[in-house]
Amino acid sequence: MKPNPSTSNDISFDDFKTQILQDYEIAVTSRECSLMGRREVLSGKAKFGIFGDGKELPQLAMARAFQNGDFRSGYYRDQTFMMALGYLDPKSFFHGLYATTDLEKEPMSAGRQMGGHFGTHSLNEDGTWKNLTEQKNSSADISCTAGQMPRLLGLAQASKIYRNVEGIEQSNFSNNGNEVAWGTIGNASTSEGHFFETLNAAGVMQVPMVICIWDDEYGISVPSEFHTTKGSISEALSGLQRDEEKNGFEILKVHGWDYTALIHTFENASDIAREQHVPVILHVTELTQPQGHSTSGSHERYKSSERLEWERENDCNKRFREWIIENGISTEEELKKTEREIKQKVRAAKKEAWTEFLSPQIQAKKVLVQLLDQAASKSPNRAFITKLKNDLIAIEEPLKKDLATKSRKALRYLLGETSPEKKALQQWVDNYIKNGEYEYGSHLYNEIGNKATSIAPVPPIYSEDSEEVDGRVILRDNFDKLFTKYPKALVFGEDTGNIGDVNQGLEGLQKKFGKLRVADTGIRETTIIGQGIGMALRGLRPIAEIQYLDYILYAIQTLSDDLATLMYRTVGKQKAPLIVRTRGHRLEGIWHSGSPMGGLVHLLRGMYILAPRNMTQAAGFYNTLMKSDEPALIIESLNGYRLKERKPDNLGEYCTPIGKVETLKDGKDITLLSYGSTLRIVEKVAQDLLEVGIDAEVIDAQSLLPFDLEHDVVKSLQKTNRLLVIDEDVPGGCSAYLMQEVVEKQEGYRYLDSKPQTLTAKAHRPAYASDGDYFSKPNAEDIFEKVYHIMHESDPQTYPALR
């Protein structure tokens, strides 16, 4: 199947007829895949199925309007669209359903995402960018309803940047901003906040976006009147319609079974967005969902007999077929012949995909059976191993876990034995598990190219003329250097532009670099992150500013489910090197003083999380990240902007290493590990402890994800034999994470003479003002007394009880 999704502009009737029949073939092929796919799930060959049946016709129209360089940010029913672009065929469809781990056979995610999740390859094998203007692009889907909307905003904004900002190299990424970002979403998912936040932002920003709403009048089992005001999303959003006086959206509405109207409406939407950079809402109504929401249930349970009959009569494929015959484009007999051939092709593709899916396991099974047989022949536990072997032989269609389970259980019966046969089985198991873990666990972070942890550290350089300045000046002047050095760099957020952020770390930079590169946004954290993801997917180097650390919780779903998983779920075929800038720690008041670090280090695996103690370190992290191409979160210390620091002479050049700790004070009695603003208190306490004869070693974690790749903390424990982790997160939060890293991963327990301990904030958030901070988070006296108590426990004679 090699479709040619050209538009109907300026083509002959014969060409238009060919296009129609080609579209019909794709629609029928897609429907047959959906029908057979459901049966494969119900037969147990696939885990779960969610399909695009009932949405075929509008997706064909969208494919006709979709041009090279355009991007899709869609949801899990767009299989017909991907088939129309030539990125999906029946065999790869079934490989996706079976979760084949071969990227050649299952190019969307190599089995990491369930079927129906689509993406194209933006990167070459070496991690460099492909020419995105020479291909039709799809950002990698996520399952979360409306989760695709925030990144859609950034994909569209990139066109605005490329069209309007001078000095940016556009090669591979844009043709003067002529690209449209196409979003797809089900009507019920428009109830999500992500949708409305994206919509509002796009209307304000006027970016080339087309949001296609597939409306089948249900959200799983719930009809649209329970989801949407007036029961119609286009009616509910009618106030956004642009007019001669005010910007807004162009709102278009079309029936999903009307082929010619769909073709013209999608072309119209494309032209408006592409030429005028006006966002478009395209509401596609009267669609159906013939097999219900998914394989988890039947829609007969919640739809009336009248509705089911209406859906049968108004199925878009059925109406398309009738229209083709009525207009003399083809005959009943010709279409039946085509349909029979397509069924045979899809059935053959399904069978071939299943055979290819099983083939590696069947080959591995043969080898394993032989190894088990050989191991059994030399073992006193022959009967038990033979039973495992026979059980494995009986599995005609083995999964990888079947082989792993049987082989690992067999090793239990070989305990204490030393035969060559046992060793061969052990090696097979080790290799099989290693390969499996790589197939399902690779590419959480960049594995090739200029990964951030490989960027060589460059220390800040000082001279006799280096002045002492407020920390925010170091940040400001470093950003100035970066924006000059990297024309694709831009920053945006609440109060980021005109006033230069709330702490003046960007003071004056909007005037110098323009309102598009140093930009203000509305109060909308989720789509600030979405802007960054979308623009990073299109080759720009965005810095998304979240005003305070607490506010990052508004955007945590987008960060966690989209940005942090992007490289993993595409097996290294897409990247979004977004830097998220925020500030926090040692704040006062419940809503500006949270320290959700434990949550962040767990929810954002796949990103770097960096917590510099001062602005010099922070600037160095920005410099390092701009030399690499991975996403990261940098948390600046809020109370450090006005503290004095020496200004380095090599701003924009020095690099703080990622994945390394820094020892700030050597000591011999106890290791104190902390980070960020709390670290300054720890440093002061370390000097006070000297007065009572305690020599503490102070280590700045600074890089939380990844943490201490060179295991320097355990080297400290070899000297001090004691460990205290100090952190202003809640109990069991980031301090527990650091403790596991040091005691378990680095095997620090081997060198401890005292129980390793943590000192954290209380479980509640601080009340307002300094007294709230003092009694809620670790203060100098808390740290002093905790350290002293550890020393008292180990040597009460030298360190008598304090209180």
The pTM (predicted TM-score) of the whole model is 0.96
Instruction: Using CA atoms of 317, 321, 324, 329 in order, give the dihedral in degrees to the nearest 10.
Output: 110
pLDDT value at position 5?
Answer: 52
User: Quick one: pLDDT at residue 1?
Assistant: 41
Q: Which two tokens stand for residue 145?
A: 């309803």
pLDDT digits (tens, 9 = 90+) for 533-586: 999 999 999 999 999 999 999 999 999 999 999 999 999 999 999 999 999 988
* Contact predicate 722/589, CB 8 Å: no
Spans of the chain, pLDDT less than 70: 1-10
**Is 592 a catalytic site residue?**
yes
pLDDT computed for residue 15 by the predictor: 87
711: alpha, beta or left, given left = phi > 0 and alpha = psi -120 to 50?
left
Contacts 24+ apart (CB under 8 A), 760-764: 760/726, 760/727, 760/728, 760/729, 760/730, 760/731, 760/732, 760/733, 760/735, 761/595, 761/727, 761/728, 761/729, 761/730, 761/731, 762/730, 762/731, 763/730, 763/731
How far apart, in whole angstroms, are the C-alpha atoms of residue 200 and residue 205? 9
Q: Per residue, what are the HEC states of 192-249?
A: CHHHHHHHHHHHHHCCCEEEEEECCCEECCEEHHHCCHHHCHHHHCHHHECCCCCCCE
Active-site choice (194, 264, 443, 592): 592
Mean pLDDT, the chain, whole residue set? 95
Give the number of other CB atoms < 10 A from CB of residue 355. Answer: 10
